C-alpha cells in the first residue's frame, strides 16, 4: 500500500516501563514507524492501550504493534484498539489464528497491512501473499461498511470457500469479504465476534454439532440432522440462525452421479436413490470410543443398521449399493488414508466422498478402478454453497460462476 511518503520502520525494544525515544533529525517528508513485537501472546486491551501511548510518546508518526494469537478471539482486542486509535496505527496478530488481523485491518481503520511476495518466504508467522490479499480477499474493496463472512473450522487453511465466495461477492457487487477462521472454541468465537459486522459463517469439521447448541434458533431440518453448517446473523435482532445445506448438496450430487452413470432409474418418488441400499461412513462427533455408539444411535433414528469399519470390509448383502464417506479420512494432508479397502468397493454402483481436498481421494481413485461411478466432494461443496450464498446475501446464487471458479481445482 502506498503510504504517500517515505517511511522508516524503527524497532525499539520495550524493557519494563521504558521505551526508547527518537533522536536526531530526519527529512521533513519522512514518516517514522515505531514498532513493538510480542511473540508470546496478545496482551489485554488496557495493556495494548498503554503500549500505544508509550510508543506515541517517542515521537513516532505511526504506531505499529504485532502480537501473537493463541486464540482467534485475541484478534478482537487488536481490532478494539485499532478502531479507537487517534493516531495512525498498524495492528497485526501473528500466526494462522491471527490472519484476519491482516485481511480486515482496513475495515477497522488500520494504517496498512503486510504481505509476502513469495510463498514460504515470511518475516513473521501468518503473513499472507500480497497476491492473495489483492485477488483472493479483494483487499482494495474492504471498507468500514464491509460485512465479514468466513469458514469456521479446525483445520481450515485448506478450504476453498474464500475463493468461491469472494469471487461471487465481487461479481455481484456485494460489499462482503469471506475469510478463513481457525477456531478452537466455537461458543467463545461467536460470543466475541457478536457485532453485526460479522454477518455469517460456514461451519466445517469439528464444529457442526456444536453449532446447533450455539445458535439462537435452528432450522427444523438442521435440528433433526443434528448439525449446522451455515450460520446467519439476522439483521433484525442480531440472533444467530443455523441451517444445514450439506444434505441438499450431497443428495443432489449423488442423484446426478447416478443418472450420469446410467444407474438411476425412474421411480414414484422421482429420485434415482429410491430402493438403493445406502452405506454411510461416519456418524458425526470426534472420539473413537464414542463412534460406534453414535453410529448406532443414528442408525436407530433412520431405521438403518450400524456396523464398524472393520465389518464394512466384508459387508456386501447386495451389489449396486451406494457408499458415502462423510468423514475426513483421506483429506489433505493424509491423502494416503482410505476408509474402505479397494477389494470391498466392487460391490458398489457409486461411491461418494465428501472430502474435496484433494478432489480425487484415494477412495474415489480405487472406486473408479473397481468399476464404480464416483462423485467428488467438490460437487457437494458447490451444491451446498448455492444455498449459503443466498442466505448470506439475499441475492440469487451465480451458479455458472461457482462452477467456473471451482473447475480450476
- pLDDT tens for 94-144 read 999 999 999 999 999 999 999 999 887 777 888 999 999 999 999 999 999
CA angle 57, 143, 392 (to 5 degrees): 135
Residue 64 annotated to the active site: yes
Q: What is the mean pLDDT of residues 6-24?
A: 47
* C-alpha separations of 5 from 2, 29, 33, 91 in Å: 8, 6, 12, 20
Q: What is the mean pLDDT of residues 312-333?
A: 88
Q: Decide if 322 contacts 349 (C-beta within 8 A).
A: yes
Residue 37 annotated to the active site: yes
Reduced to 3 states (helix: H, G, I; strand: E, B; else coil), residue 318 is: coil
Domain 1-144: state its class: alpha beta
Question: What is the pLDDT at residue 26?
Answer: 61
Name the architecture of domain 247-375.
Answer: 3-Layer(aba) Sandwich (3.40)
Catalytic entry in 31, 61, 64, 147? 64
Task: Specify the pTM.
Answer: 0.83
Q: Decide if 339 contacts 310 (C-beta within 8 A).
A: no
- Evaluate if residue 51 carries a pLDDT over 70: yes
145-244+378-409: CATH number:
3.40.50.10860
Reported for 241-246, long-range contacts at CB under 8 A and 24+ positions apart, including other chains, are 241/215, 241/216, 241/217, 242/211, 242/212, 242/214, 242/215, 242/217, 242/218, 243/218, 243/219, 243/387, 243/388, 243/391, 244/219, 245/384, 245/385, 245/386, 245/387, 245/388, 246/354, 246/380, 246/384
List pLDDT tens digits, range 160-204.
Answer: 999 999 999 999 999 999 999 999 999 999 999 999 999 999 999
H/E element, 49: helix 45-56
Reduced to 3 states (helix: H, G, I; strand: E, B; else coil), residue 374 is: strand
Q: What grid cell was written down for 233?
A: 446473523
Question: What is the pLDDT at residue 295?
Answer: 53
Average pLDDT value for the chain: 87
Q: Buried (b) or exposed (e) across 93-114, using 16+ Cβ within 10 A?
A: bbbebbbbbbbbbbbbbbbbbb
Residue 50 annotated to the active site: no
Catalytic entry in 61, 71, 74, 246? 246
What is the rounded CA–CA span in Å between residue 98 and residue 389? 25
Same fold, 1-144 and 247-375: no
* C-alpha separations of 307 from 166, 279, 299, 316 in Å: 41, 10, 9, 12
Residue 359 annotated to the active site: no
Catalytic entry in 208, 210, 276, 347? 208
Confidence of residue 303 (pLDDT cuts 50, 70, 90): low
Domain ranges of the chain: 1-144, 145-244+378-409, 247-375
- Evaluate if residue 386 carries a pLDDT over 70: yes
Amino acid at each position: 500500500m502506498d503510504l504517500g511518503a517515505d517511511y522508516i520502520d524503527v524497532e525499539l525494544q520495550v524493557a519494563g516501563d521504558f521505551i526508547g525515544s527518537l533522536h536526531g533529525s530526519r527529512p521533513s517528508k519522512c514518516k517514522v514507524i515505531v514498532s513493538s513485537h510480542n511473540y508470546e501472546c496478545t496482551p489485554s486491551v488496557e495493556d495494548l492501550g498503554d503500549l500505544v501511548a508509550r510508543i506515541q510518546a517517542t515521537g513516532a508518526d505511526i504506531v505499529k504493534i504485532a502480537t501473537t494469537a493463541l486464540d482467534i478471539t485475541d484478534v478482537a482486542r487488536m481490532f478494539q484498539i485499532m478502531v479507537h486509535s487517534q493516531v495512525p496505527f498498524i495492528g497485526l496478530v501473528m500466526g494462522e489464528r491471527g490472519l484476519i488481523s491482516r485481511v480486515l485491518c482496513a475495515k477497522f481503520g488500520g494504517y496498512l497491512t503486510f504481505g509476502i511476495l513469495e510463498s514460504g518466504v515470511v518475516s513473521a508467522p501468518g503473513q499472507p501473499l500480497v497476491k492473495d490479499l489483492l485477488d483472493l480477499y479483494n483487499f482494495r474493496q474492504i471498507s468500514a461498511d464491509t460485512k465479514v463472512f468466513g469458514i469456521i473450522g479446525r483445520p481450515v487453511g485448506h478450504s476453498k470457500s474464500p475463493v468461491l465466495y469472494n469471487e461471487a461477492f465481487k461479481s455481484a457487487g456485494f460489499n462482503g469479504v469471506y475469510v478463513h477462521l481457525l477456531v478452537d472454541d466455537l461458543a467463545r468465537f461467536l460470543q466475541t465476534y457478536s457485532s453485526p459486522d460479522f454477518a455469517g459463517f460456514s461451519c466445517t469439521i469439528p464444529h457442526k454439532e456444536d453449532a446447533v447448541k450455539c445458535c439462537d434458533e435452528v432450522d427444523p431440518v438442521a435440528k433433526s440432522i443434528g448439525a449446522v453448517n451455515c450460520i446467519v446473523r439476522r439483521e433484525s435482532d442480531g440472533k444467530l440462525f443455523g441451517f444445514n445445506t450439506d444434505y441438499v448438496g450431497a443428495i443432489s450430487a449423488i442423484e446426478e452421479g447416478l443418472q450420469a452413470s446410467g444407474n438411476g432409474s425412474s421411480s414414484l418418488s422421482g429420485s434415482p436413490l429410491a430402493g438403493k441400499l445406502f452405506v454411510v461412513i461416519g456418524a458425526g462427533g470426534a472420539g473413537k470410543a464414542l463412534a460406534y455408539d453414535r453410529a448406532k444411535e443414528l442408525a436407530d433414528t433412520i431405521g438403518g443398521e450400524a456396523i464398524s469399519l472393520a465389518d464394512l470390509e466384508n459387508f456386501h448383502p447386495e451389489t449396486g449399493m451406494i457408499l458415502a464417506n462423510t468423514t475426513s479420512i483421506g483429506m489433505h494432508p493424509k491423502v494416503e488414508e482410505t476408509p474402505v479397502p479397494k477389494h470391498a468397493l466392487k460391490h458398489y454402483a457409486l461411491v461418494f466422498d465428501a472430502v474435496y481436498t484433494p478432489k480425487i481421494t484415494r477412495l474415489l481413485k480405487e472406486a473408479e478402478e473397481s468399476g464404480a461411478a464416483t462423485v467428488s466432494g467438490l460437487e457437494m461443496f458447490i451444491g451446498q454453497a448455492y444455498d449459503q450464498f443466498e442466505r448470506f446475501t439475499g441475492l440469487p446464487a451465480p451458479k455458472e460462476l461457482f462452477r467456473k471458479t471451482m473447475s480450476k481445482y
